[in-house]
Amino acid sequence: MNTSLFLPAARRLYIFSAAIISAILLPASVTPAQAADDVQLVIGGQPVAFVVQPYQESDGSVYAPVDFVRRMGGNYTPSSDGRSVDVTGSNGSKITVPFQMVKERYCVPVKQVADALGASVGWNDRAHTMTLRARIEVVKQDRDGLSIFTSYPIYYSVKRLEKPQRIYVDLLGADLASAPATVPATNPGVSYIRSGSISYNTVRIVVDLKKNIAFKIASGPVTSHVQVAMSGDGETHVATRPQPILPVPVPVAPRPLPVTPLPEPPQDTPPAASGLQITDVACNVVSDTLTQIVIKTTGQGDYRTETLAGPNRLAFDLADASLADGLKRLISTDHSIIKSIRSGVMKADGKKFGRVVLDMTKLVAFNVTTQPSDDGVEYVINVQTPAQATPPAPTVAQVPDSTLLAGKIIMVDPGHGGGDSGAVGIGGAREKDLTLTIGKQLRDLLASNGATVYMTREDDTKPSVAARPQMAIAAHADYFISIHCDDSGARNSHSGTTVYYHAQNAVCRRFAIDVVNRIAAVSGIPPNGVKSDTIRFQTGFGVLRGSTMPAILVECGYMNSESDLSKLRTPAVQQHVAEGVVAGLLDFIADTGNR
Ligand SMILES: [Zn+2]
């Protein structure tokens, strides 16, 4: 790190005066939220974790950091006059909206933007939750099979049921009201296509089959055009081999869907049969921001989760699972979020599920990870709990689930470059070379775990400080990781790894804690802890200030420390630093809820 990371004084002055001018011209757009109420925003069926929590204004409108449009396949840029934000939807729709600047995030009126991007907007006043659901625009069957078009890209899953013969297409975060009740079946093997709902956030398209026909998912994992290719003759239909479209049969009244909202677990459950067993359920408070519900089972099975509001519940269902004798059916806790945990067995769609329900004071972000145990598999529900003003949490001692990186977009920023060497260490070692080497190792490690990785530089060039976070925003990055090495002047005056976060941002601080702990565990370089970047500079580091996603700056070690430098020049240690960053990022994703 050196001063070249900071904006030059003239540029800072410009920003400062521009802020005053816009405060005079546009008082509404820069008024911070006053006594605003926190709001949960749900997109794609999942609560979204934000650096700045969405809030409700006194007029009832809900504001959230504009980043949420990326969950809907959209993008945004501040308008050229700096007074508004231009939002573009995945289908090309555009809207320009005013913003409120909160902790350097552009917060925009959610409903106005969501309406423009084609979402159906729901509001639960009691749970203070705004839910955005994609509209289902077209459901049709043609020579390419079943096609479902939604107003913006969503996740979906396709399941096969044997008795009766059915295909389920579950659309996550979609609105049933927009779906047609029935769709003409043109494939001779299909008797009905119907729409139903298995929860507020999940629409189920049911394809009733006359016989066992083959199908193939022909669309990507996140899409606004779900495609399921089907064959009428037992072979998977190939799109390049057209089949005649058969006449539409006379519509038959659809049978009621057996997919109404799931019942609560009954008080008594039948004795254990064959299949999986849930043998233990435990609630572990891991840190002030993470609580884990550990569900021990005798083996691996299909599971699903769903959140239900009013009362707030999180349900975990494990297919074909029963409860072991002696399993406690009700666990009461004094946890701030989780009031109690109930276990039971329920039947739906002719299937049996072992169900664990968390009764919660509010819905929060969560994800589920699995890990092998001595005699089966443990499912772990990682429940994010709001950060409180407490000392740093202890290191989370758990095996990171590297699958959490799949689909994530990460910007790696090797510090300095080109004419800017950064710190020059003992023997002439240059910071810009070490940051690039470690950055490339980090890139390769992240990519090998399924992440999409971009770098602000991949050679000896120097993008400007302001350009680096802009690249991350343009790449729709989920995380920004800047790599630097420290320098404190006199030889051996300091040693250790320090991770910086911006200002008082609690989310980025959590990210920094997770990363510094993991680096310390593997690198052999002592940890210096985490620091706010405002310790180094009044307005922090430009690369962190400019990032709209969780961002950290890792000072791997000191260039003026003989011990640190000899380690940082060792390829094995460089690799360990990269591994530590990846493990810390995984902890952070688990802490904050996968999304
Ligand atoms: Zn540096």
Tokens of 365: 């972000």
In a domain, 566, yes or no: yes
Q: Note whether 147 and 140 are within 8 A (CB).
A: yes
584 and 487 in a common domain: yes
Tokens of 183: 């769709």
In a domain, 41, yes or no: yes
Q: How far is the centre of ligand 1, averaged over its atoms, from the C-alpha of 75 (Å)?
A: 31
Bridge partners of 303? 318
Give residues with Cβ within 8 angstroms of 562, minimum separation 6.
426, 491, 492
567 and 450 in a common domain: yes
Q: How far is the centre of ligand 1, averaged over its atoms, from the C-alpha of 482 (Å)?
A: 9
Q: How far is the centre of ligand 1, averaged over its atoms, from the C-alpha of 530 (Å)?
A: 16
Q: Which of 384, 415, 439 is the last residue of a domain?
A: 384
Q: How far is the centre of ligand 1, averaged over its atoms, from the C-alpha of 578 (Å)?
A: 17
443 and 568 in a common domain: yes
In a domain, 99, yes or no: yes
Residue type, 130: M
What's the Cα-to-Cα distance from 93 to each of 65, 66, 155, 343, rounded to whole Å? 19, 16, 21, 45
What's the Cα-to-Cα distance from 48 to each of 10, 82, 112, 480, 514, rounded to whole Å? 37, 26, 18, 18, 20
Interatomic CA distance for residues 168 and 192, integer angstroms: 12
Q: How far is the centre of ligand 1, averaged over its atoms, from the C-alpha of 486 (Å)?
A: 6
Q: Which of 230, 247, 266 is the last residue of a domain?
A: 230
566 and 418 in a common domain: yes
Q: How far is the centre of ligand 1, averaged over its atoms, from the C-alpha of 84 (Å)?
A: 34
Q: How far is the centre of ligand 1, averaged over its atoms, from the C-alpha of 420 (Å)?
A: 10
Q: How far is the centre of ligand 1, averaged over its atoms, from the C-alpha of 322 (Å)?
A: 56
Provide the domain count of the chain. Answer: 4
Q: How far is the centre of ligand 1, averaged over its atoms, from the C-alpha of 407 (Å)?
A: 29
Q: How many CB atoms neighbour CB 569 within 10 A? A: 15
Q: How far is the centre of ligand 1, averaged over its atoms, from the C-alpha of 484 (Å)?
A: 4
Q: How far is the centre of ligand 1, averaged over its atoms, from the C-alpha of 534 (Å)?
A: 15
CATH of the domain at 412: 3.40.630.40
Q: How far is the centre of ligand 1, averaged over its atoms, from the C-alpha of 350 (Å)?
A: 61
Q: How far is the centre of ligand 1, averaged over its atoms, from the C-alpha of 395 (Å)?
A: 26
Tens of pLDDT, residue by residue over 99-135, are 999 888 899 999 999 999 999 998 888 888 899 999 9
Q: How far is the centre of ligand 1, averaged over its atoms, from the C-alpha of 509 (Å)?
A: 19
Q: How far is the centre of ligand 1, averaged over its atoms, from the C-alpha of 472 (Å)?
A: 19
CATH of the domain at 370: 2.60.40.3500
Interatomic CA distance for residues 106 and 524, integer angstroms: 40
DSSP letters spanning 490-525 = STTS--SEEEEESTT-HHHHHHHHHHHHHHHHHHSS
Q: How far is the centre of ligand 1, averaged over its atoms, from the C-alpha of 435 (Å)?
A: 8
Q: How far is the centre of ligand 1, averaged over its atoms, from the C-alpha of 309 (Å)?
A: 47
Q: How far is the centre of ligand 1, averaged over its atoms, from the C-alpha of 412 (Å)?
A: 14
181 and 98 in a common domain: no
Q: How far is the centre of ligand 1, averaged over its atoms, from the C-alpha of 533 (Å)?
A: 13
In a domain, 185, yes or no: yes
513 and 406 in a common domain: yes
Strand 222-230 with 182-183, pairing: unpaired
Q: How far is the centre of ligand 1, averaged over its atoms, from the C-alpha of 414 (Å)?
A: 9
* Domain span at 107: 35-117
ipTM of the complex: 0.98
Q: How far is the centre of ligand 1, averaged over its atoms, from the C-alpha of 76 (Å)?
A: 30
75 and 155 in a common domain: no
485 and 567 in a common domain: yes
Q: How far is the centre of ligand 1, averaged over its atoms, from the C-alpha of 565 (Å)?
A: 14
Tokens of 52: 């700045």
Which of helix, strand or coil describes residue 67?
Answer: helix
50 and 164 in a common domain: no
Q: How far is the centre of ligand 1, averaged over its atoms, from the C-alpha of 476 (Å)?
A: 24
Q: How far is the centre of ligand 1, averaged over its atoms, from the C-alpha of 415 (Å)?
A: 6
216 and 103 in a common domain: no
Q: How far is the centre of ligand 1, averaged over its atoms, from the C-alpha of 389 (Å)?
A: 30
Q: How far is the centre of ligand 1, averaged over its atoms, from the C-alpha of 441 (Å)?
A: 18
Q: How far is the centre of ligand 1, averaged over its atoms, from the C-alpha of 101 (Å)?
A: 29
Q: Note whether 517 and 499 are within 8 A (CB).
A: no
Ligand 1 ion: residues within 5 Å (CB): 1, 415, 422, 484
Nearest of 125, 264, 148, 142 to residue 203 by alpha carbon: 148
Q: How far is the centre of ligand 1, averaged over its atoms, from the C-alpha of 584 (Å)?
A: 21
In a domain, 123, yes or no: no
78 and 149 in a common domain: no
515 and 430 in a common domain: yes
Q: How far is the centre of ligand 1, averaged over its atoms, from the C-alpha of 2 (Å)?
A: 5
Q: How far is the centre of ligand 1, averaged over its atoms, from the C-alpha of 572 (Å)?
A: 21
In a domain, 171, yes or no: yes
Q: How far is the centre of ligand 1, averaged over its atoms, from the C-alpha of 558 (Å)?
A: 10
Interatomic CA distance for residues 521 and 514, integer angstroms: 11
Positions of the chain with pLDDT under 70: 1-36, 144, 232-274, 310, 372, 386-401, 593-595
Q: How far is the centre of ligand 1, averaged over its atoms, from the C-alpha of 396 (Å)?
A: 28
Bridge partners of 337? none
Q: How far is the centre of ligand 1, averaged over its atoms, from the C-alpha of 485 (Å)?
A: 5
CATH of the domain at 113: 3.30.457
Which of helix, strand or coil describes residue 222?
Answer: strand
In a domain, 253, yes or no: no
Q: How far is the centre of ligand 1, averaged over its atoms, from the C-alpha of 327 (Å)?
A: 55
Q: Which of 206, 230, 254 is the last residue of a domain?
A: 230
In a domain, 512, yes or no: yes
b/e for 4-30, b at 16 or more Cβ within 10 A? bbbbeeeeeeeeeeeeeebeeeeeebb
With 0-12 / 13-18 / 19 or more C-beta atoms within 10 angstroms meaning exposed / middle / buried, residue 271 is exposed
